[in-house]
Amino acid sequence: MTDDSTDDEDERLARTPGRGEAPKARSITPSAPDEFGLVQVWWGDGKGKTTAAMGMGFRAAGHGYRVHMLQFMKGGASSVEDVRGEYNAIARMPGFSYENSGHYGWHGFLDESDEDEHVAKARGGLTRARELVAAADDADLQSPLPLDGPADDGVHMLVLDEILYAANRGLVDPEAVVDLADTKPDDLELVLTGGHEHPDYVCERADLVTNVRKETHPIEAGRRARKGTEY
């Protein structure tokens, strides 16, 4: 009877994440993912698209995978300061890096920013995205990558934040976004975020599509972006 009870407990634990033990933090060492390679799309009028993408980035980096985020058009209203909390956090996370190719301000928001500059920076971001995808194609993504290595040597996860917004606004060609999804290496996890309009052009290429919907937002009550939640 004791043996049967032990067998039953072993079988139960085998079906339990972590065999029933509470997760513990471990040191981060370079590793390679076994199941990366999907295309993710995060769009919608709700708050949380970038937050979700960065959350996955931190999770992946915590396993020792190499992650890079390229932000298009990340700026915001005049209430947003020039230092964003996520940049400080990423800078201190092994294996996670970022760069910003966008204009500090939003296209079409009448913030007195130069529209031509928005276009130039968005297209520059697209060029950079192509370079990063090509670099990943040249790398061995089935092997660990140096956590402090440049993104130009390849990454396991590439987050192109607000690229869908840039495409929906006509700052970059939507077909160029599709091309990124079509030409990426098989083992690269590609995460595309942004935009309030459904990105039909790329959704059929995506393995995961999430519509982040707004029900209530404090901006409707006159609240501006808050430090620690929006930036």
- Residue range 103-117, pLDDT digits in tens: 555 545 444 556 677
Query: Domains in the chain and their CATH numbers?
Result: 31-221 (3.40.50.300)
Does residue 123 or residue 155 have the better pLDDT? 155
User: CA dist 199 to 138, 146, 165, Å?
Assistant: 29, 34, 9
Q: Are strands 157-161 and 67-71 parallel, antiparallel or unpaired?
A: parallel
Per-residue confidence at 79, pLDDT binned at 50, 70, 90?
low
Give the pLDDT confidence of 87-100 residue by residue, as tens digits: 899 999 999 999 98
Q: Which residue has the tokens 């607000």?
A: 162
The C-alpha atoms of residue 141 and residue 60 are separated, in whole angstroms, by 14
pTM, 2 dp: 0.86
Q: How many C-alpha atoms does 79 have within 13 Å on its Cβ side? A: 11
Per-residue confidence at 219, pLDDT binned at 50, 70, 90?
confident
For the chain, give the percent of residues with pLDDT over 70. Answer: 88
pLDDT at 225: 76
